[in-house]
Amino acid sequence: MMDLDERKRHILKALINDYIVTAEPVGSRTIAKRYRLGISSATIRNEMADLEDMGYLEQPHTSAGRIPSDKGYRVYVDCLMGSEKLSNQEIELIKNSICSVIEGEINRIIKEMTKVLSALTNYTVMVMAPQTMNSMVKHIQLIAIDDLHVMAVVVTNFSVVNSSSITLSRPIDSDKLMTINNILNDKLKGLTLEEINLKIISEVQNSVTGYSEIFNEIIPILYKSLKKRDKGEIYLEGSSNIFNYPEYNAIDKAKQFLTMLDKKDLLRNLLSCDGD
């Protein structure tokens, strides 16, 4: 990461700046001209070749400029771009939105933060709940609908409420149902999907002998409720901001693309999409 000397860093920074604005590969000459680093394009060319060897840049094809690689963006973000202080106004916006949802469920909070981030940056923002945010059982409620039908409601800390009905082969009285309900909550509340292992399951199973029917139905429901969140819902805000940036100067590109296509090309494109 820090195997970059001062000059390489300058060049990398200039190149990425340029690329962010133009979304076109950036050549050595462009950098020499536009950024006045006091060195010639040839020197920059050499440095760029080094940077490419080191994996910070990529070349779409020979005789094109370079574009930053993921690794290049990484150092840009980590060390090169510098940071700006937030304005008071921006800080207020963040504070307010936090206050408005702080009591809420975590998915509302994430959604709100996604919105704020998009509003502050004018970028399209996608947020995915990280793996560590495993959902956890908050409450289980069994509700008797009639003698043979029970509604199972599972609430997780993500406020995901999953209700499913269970059909029994023989009736159950409400006292017994209550007991089972309590056992389930006792044993499972606060546990994440990973923590509900075989040991716990068999423990619960032993405690509710005679009503394995309910139990057997409950497990998949639990699993589904927790899994739902673990799949990592994606929060998306500001999708229209995509149009603000050159890489996706979509209207122009789309126009170009469409005029480029005649029927034959269109057909070919459609067919080749299949293969990929």
Residue 91 sits in the site that holds DNA (CB under 7 A): no
Q: Bridge partners of 143?
A: 151
Q: Which of 10, 27, 196, 221 binds DNA (CB under 7 A)?
A: 27
Residue 65 sits in the site that holds DNA (CB under 7 A): yes
Is the CB of 30 or the CB of 118 nearer to DNA?
30
- Find the part of the chain contacting DNA (CB under 7 A) among 36-44, 141-149, 207-215, 245-253: 36-44
CA distance 260 to 57: 30
CA distance 20 to 248: 11
Residue 43 sits in the site that holds DNA (CB under 7 A): yes
* Element holding 57 (H helix, E strand): strand 57-58
User: Restricting to residues 177-206, which ones interact with DNA according to CB under 7 A?
Assistant: none
Residue 74 sits in the site that holds DNA (CB under 7 A): no
Residue among 212, 251, 221 nearest 151 (CA) = 221
φ, ψ for residue 275, nearest 5 deg: -65, -40
Q: Provide the phi-psi class of 122: left if phi over 0, else alpha when psi is between -120 and 50, else beta.
A: left
Is the CB of 53 or the CB of 276 nearer to DNA?
53
Is the CB of 31 or the CB of 166 nearer to DNA?
31
For residue 82, the minimal CB distance to DNA (Å) is 24
For residue 81, the minimal CB distance to DNA (Å) is 22
Q: Is 1 helix (H, G, I), strand (E, B) or coil?
A: coil
**Inter-residue contact 129 to 236 (CB < 8 Å):** no
Strand ranges across the sheet with 149-156: 137-146, 149-156, 161-167
Residue 69 sits in the site that holds DNA (CB under 7 A): no
CA distance 17 to 121: 17
Residue 267 sits in the site that holds DNA (CB under 7 A): no
Q: Which of 8, 9, 17, 29 binds DNA (CB under 7 A)?
A: 29
Residue 45 sits in the site that holds DNA (CB under 7 A): yes
Residue 263 sits in the site that holds DNA (CB under 7 A): no
Residue 166 sits in the site that holds DNA (CB under 7 A): no
φ, ψ for residue 228, nearest 5 deg: -45, -45
- Find the part of the chain contacting DNA (CB under 7 A) among 20-28, 128-136, 145-153, 190-198: 20-28
Strand extents, DSSP E, 98-192: 125-128, 137-146, 149-156, 161-167
Q: How far is CA 221 from CA 170, 201, 230, 252, in A?
A: 20, 14, 14, 49
Q: What mask, x for binding DNA by CB under 7 A, covers residues 203 to 242?
A: ----------------------------------------
Residue 269 sits in the site that holds DNA (CB under 7 A): no
Instruction: Name, in order, each residue with C-beta under 8 angstroms of 178's C-beta and a sequence gap of 6 or more.
Output: none
Residue 9 sits in the site that holds DNA (CB under 7 A): no
For residue 19, the minimal CB distance to DNA (Å) is 11
Residue 141 sits in the site that holds DNA (CB under 7 A): no
The residue ranges that bind DNA (CB under 7 A) are 7, 25-30, 38-43, 45-46, 48-49, 52, 59, 61-66, 262
